[in-house]
Amino acid sequence: MDVTSFGIDHDRLLRGIYVSRKDTVENGVLTTFDIRMKEPNREMVLDTSVMHTIEHLMATFFRGHKQWADKTIYIGPMGCRTGMYAIFKGDLSSEDVLDIITKCYEYMENFEEEIPAAKSHMCGNYLDHNLGITKIECSKFLEEVLYQMKKENMEYPIQKN
């Protein structure tokens, strides 16, 4: 299935976990997930400092995880500031990653330590972080979306012509 050719209807897109694309590379398939934390154009977007902190914490969580470290290719923020991208090895579905992404948001919601790699020699804008609001945003996403996932939070709405 060529998911990249579908026209996603952002006017009807909800918060959730969606398969953004699948790419076949030499040794298998890579799945890119759209972790959508805000409804596009209908909700306030995430602050850049919050997206930055989520990027550092999410990368730390996956790169340090026993089962997922080897599968994790990339974690990064969306330019529109409504969510994050995560690329994993394997031909995966939203159901396959729901549990681990929920655990990642619980890790971020409960994070109390110093933000990893938020030092001038390790980060391009190390002062631009906000752990307090990050924890609130993660808690909201868990309660309102991840703990009550429905089909429409895992399947893209397609544009009607």
- CA–CA distance, 99 with 78 (Å, rounded to integer): 22
Among 8, 123, 133, 149, binds Zn ion (CB under 5 A): 123
Q: Which stretch binds Zn ion (CB under 5 A): 6-14, 24-32, 123-131, 135-143?
A: 123-131
Is 59 a residue that touches Zn ion (CB under 5 A)?
no
Is 142 a residue that touches Zn ion (CB under 5 A)?
no
Nearer to Zn ion, 17 or 46 (CB): 46
Which strands sit side by side in the sheet containing 28-36, from one edge to the other?
16-25, 28-36, 83-89, 72-77
Could you tell me the smallest distance in angstroms from the CB atom of residue 57 to Zn ion?
A: 11
Quote the strand ranges of the chain, DSSP E: 16-25, 28-36, 72-77, 83-89
Q: Which stretch binds Zn ion (CB under 5 A): 18-26, 42-50, 122-130, 153-161?
A: 122-130
Nearer to Zn ion, 41 or 125 (CB): 125
